[in-house]
Each structure stands twice: as C-alpha cells, then as structure tokens.
Amino acid sequence: MARQERMRAAVRIVVAVAAVLVTGTAGYMVIEGSPLLDALYMTVITVTTIGYREVVPLTAPGKVFTIVLALTGVGILMYAITAWASLFVATDIRKILGLRGEQRMIERLSDHIVVCGSGRTGQAVAEILASRNASFVVVDENPDCLERIQQHGILVHHGDATQKETLEAVGVDRARTVISCLGDDAHNVYAILLARQMNPSIDIIARATEEGSEERLRLAGADRIINPYRAGAMRLAFTALKPTVVDFLEASLPGVEGNLELTEIPVSEGSSVAGRTLASANVRQRFGIIVVAILREGRTLFNPAPDMEIRPGDILVGLGPPDALEGLERASS
C-alpha cells in the first residue's frame, strides 16, 4: 500500500474514534448534565469496556444511551485497533518479507546492469530495460521514487550508491554495466570511482548534469558519458535538418514499434560464423539482416566489405527484423 493511501486510512481511523468520543461525551453532558471531564470519563470507560465506577447514578435515558454507546462504540474501537495494526504492523511485516525476497533475488543476479538513481532519468532507463527483459536492479536513497518503480515489478534496493556496502548489496562486483544517473555530478563521480574500484572490468555509463563535467566523469572511470541536454539539442537540430534520417534511426531503435531494429551481436569463440567472411557466412541470405558495422579491438569498422572475416570477440552491428536478429544472435553464441 502506498504511503499516501496509508495516511488517508489512518486519518479515517482517527476520525472514527474521535467521533465516538465526541458523541459519547456530548450525550452524557446532555442527558445526565455531567461536566465535560465526567462525560468524557464515562465515554472512555464504556467504549474500552473497563466499566470502572460510574461518576453519578445513571437515569433511565442515561442507561439506554450507555447500552447504545457500548454496542456501537466498542465495535468501532475494536475495528479501529484491528485496522490500525493491519495498516502499519502487517504492512511493515509484508515490506520486510518483500525486501528479504528481493535481496535474495539480487544476490542471484550476475552479468546484470546496476542503475544508480531513480529520478526521471533513472525511471525512464528502468522502463526501457524492463521492456527489453534485461537483468537489472535500481538503487537509490529516495524511497518514494523506488516505490513507484517497484510497482512495475522492477528489482530495487534502498541505499546510497556512493557507499561501498550499497554497491556490494546490488552485486557491482559481478555486474557487467553500471548506469550512473544520480542527482548531481559529484555523486556520480563518487559512485563511478567506487564501482571502478570494486570491478575494474565493468562498463560504466554516466549522465552529465553540468556543462563541462564530462572530463571529470571520464577521469573518474566512466566509459561512456551522456549529456541529455546536448543529446536533446542534437536531436532537435537534426530533426530540423534531416528529418527522414532521424525518423529512420528512431524506427530502428530497440523498443520502438517498427519492422527493423538495430542491435549489437557479440561473436563467441565457438560461433558458427566465426572465422568466416560475411559473404561465406551468408549473413544477409541466411538471416535477412545487414551488418552495418563491426566493432573490433576498440575500433568501429563501418560498412564492412563482403570479404571481411568475422573474428571471435567481434561485435556485429546488425539491422533487420527482430526475429532475424535473434537468429543471428543464436548463431553467433
């Protein structure tokens, strides 16, 4: 249950109990002419079933009112106590059990992605990763943001991403990628430094929030740095200059509805296409895709020739229908 819903339910419980006390107090003041404190005392000992010493002997109308108050007020009070316990105690127990279950799932993760930050950028990243069935976990200190993400069935961990114990809890030492999109560059730098120290081979992607902070993030250990303001400006400018090209690229991005998709396919040692040329492997004929580039030893070879050999460790950048790309992925693994 969300925090706001719990607060609204708590308010309703308090109002119900207050209504019983006010009604009982007013009734004794009107019927028996009791002072305020005596009337409140009579109401409390009646609804709590204590029944300890009447202040004054009750008249017949007062006895009838006491019977009605006992039957209704006691029921409302018992319901309020039960609801209050269910609302907070049971919720906390479910939350504790849920956190333990999630932590066990996180401990089983390997070769996964760690998203540091659950703000607007982090939430957008999480939604896209979830749509691609990626293995990932989101870590942040903001419980409200994490709760919104968690409602979509996404693994989350509450903690400070700039602390070693937090990154240990989300398995940075066995993760393949960290996406650092914390609120400011200083926290991103700390998280990157720590992640690089814990896992020297991890791929780190960072969001730059300030102009000119790219170099600091790179020195901290980030492999790739995204400036959302510059990226947005470039997209706006190129949409104006080359709208057809932009439309094509958007249509080919994973997660966007369309007939074509761009993806990268690692070539393993035992792959059926390793050691063969693009022509002899019949990549286009067998799979119906176009290899637009090959990433090899840190270099990007664009528009590779048909006689170029495919080597183990290469990453093929392919363009084609999603099912065809899946076929090439299976052949390359």
What distance in Å separates the CA atoms of residue 231 and residue 70, rounded to the nearest whole number? 69
Confidence of residue 1 (pLDDT cuts 50, 70, 90): very low
Judge whether 242 and 297 are in contact, CB under 8 Å: no
Whether pLDDT at 242 is above 70: yes
Amino acid at 270: G
- The three-class DSSP label of residue 309 is strand
Q: Is 281 exposed, middle or buried (0-12, 13-18, 19+ CB in 10 A)?
A: buried
Helix 120-131 to helix 143-150 angle, to the nearest 10 degrees?
20
The pairing of strands 203-207 and 156-158 is unpaired
- The three-class DSSP label of residue 256 is coil
What distance in Å separates the CA atoms of residue 44 and residue 38, rounded to the nearest whole number? 10
Whether pLDDT at 89 is above 60: no
Mean pLDDT is lowest, of 17-21, 90-94, 232-236, for 90-94
**According to the model, what pLDDT value does residue 93 have?**
47
pTM of the full structure:
0.59
In sign, the C-alpha dihedral spanning 197, 199, 201, 205 is negative
Whether pLDDT at 328 is above 80: no
Encoded tokens for 115 = 């998203």
Q: For Cα atoms 279, 280, 282, give the angle at the middle one, nearest 5 degrees.
A: 65
Encoded tokens for 9 = 């339910």
Query: 């393949």: which residue's tokens?
Result: 176
What distance in Å separates the CA atoms of residue 211 and residue 227, rounded to the nearest whole number? 8
What distance in Å separates the CA atoms of residue 92 and residue 3, rounded to the nearest whole number? 12
The answer regarding whether domain 3-104 maps to CATH 1.10.287.70 reads yes
Amino acid at 30: V
Alpha carbon separation from 18 to 7, 13, 294 (Å, rounded): 16, 9, 72
Strand partners, 16: none
Q: Is 259-332 in the same CATH topology as 3-104?
A: no
Confidence of residue 199 (pLDDT cuts 50, 70, 90): very high
Class of domain 259-332 as given by CATH: alpha beta
In CATH, what number does 110-232 get?
Answer: 3.40.50.720
Domain locations in the chain as residue ranges: 3-104, 110-232, 259-332
Q: What are 258-311's pLDDT values in tens digits?
A: 567 777 888 888 888 888 888 888 877 777 788 889 999 888 898 898 889 999
